[in-house]
Amino acid sequence: MTKNIQKIGVMTSGGDSPGMNAAIRSVVRTCAYHKLECIGIYRGYQGLIEGDFKPMDARSVNNIINKGGTILKSARSKEFRTREGRDTAFAKAKQQGLDAIVVIGGDGSFTGAMIFSEENDFPVMGIPGTIDNDIYGTSSTLGYDTAINTVVEAIDKIRDTASSHNRLFFVEVMGRDVGNIALNAGVGAGAEEILIPEENLGRDRLLESLKRSRKSGKSSSIVVVAEGVESGENVFALKDYVEENLPEYEVRVSVLGHMQRGGSPSCWDRVLASRMGVKAVESLMEGDYNNMVGIQDTKIVLCPLEKAVKGKTDIDKELIRVSDIMTT
């Protein structure tokens, strides 16, 4: 049965990503445009449990579209993983008069939203905010474009010093168990080798690639490594292995870490966030909820939350082929 949506809550949950503030802004201003009330929920599900709410209007989101992070803050909530915690959250939502909630986050946040909705027959909508780009149902998540541009810029700078000192640099990038950041940033930055968990190329392939580079006259190289590249092994273990087998290389490691999750969002992420926020609110108004807003072939689409949570994303095989050609 379609519910009458008059008051919408908005929260950010899980890890932050560039573009979250732009999405908050879009949700708040779309509510204002349609004369709906909007309530900001601070600190994700923990704030929902504690009733950490603040009314938001169009002016309350001035000058945030260009800011990284999230003005609503984010927090992990062990309490929300329990039925008692979710019951408390639902009581707080009803006490506040909320008719629906827009959750901006990743698969963990969407899992919580899906369970919360099923238990309480409560409308929710998801907006994918994660730099990892690992959510099924959307070709791009908020923050991904900004993150890969941040990585490319960092690698460009690292290459300057690698060339100056004839060094081999291993650059570790984020992405959990997926190699989207490593693959795209590696191709964009012209890395000599790219190691991703989806393609276990092995140590021997890496050594052969470095030997070929050396023979071709390259005195410095960049190897981009996804943080989940090999189970039980990290980038420092790879460094040690290369130094043992190719002593002619002077190897350095640069772990980019959380700098990839910060910074001003790119134009793409700002526009995407704006489009997703409008779709989330208007879908709720039309009675089409318990979905995630995504983008496919430049079109804004809806994907059932269950599919977004349980579906498996695939790495771009064509880009892997391009990478192989470019690193020849």
Inter-residue contact 35 to 2 (CB < 8 Å): no
Our answer to whether residue 52 is catalytic in this structure is no
What tokens appear for 256 in the block? 């980019």
**Catalytic residue (one of 132, 134, 145, 269):** 132
Dihedral, 132, 133, 136, 140 alpha carbons, nearest 10 = 160
Beta partners for 126?
A: 103, 292
DSSP secondary structure, 198-253, as one string? TB--HHHHHHHHHHHHHHTT-S-EEEEEETTSBTTB-HHHHHHHHHHH-TT--EEE
Is the four-CA dihedral 124, 125, 127, 128 of positive or negative sign?
Answer: positive
The single-letter DSSP state of residue 265 is P
The single-letter DSSP state of residue 88 is H
Inter-residue contact 18 to 141 (CB < 8 Å): no
- Which residues belong to the active site? 132
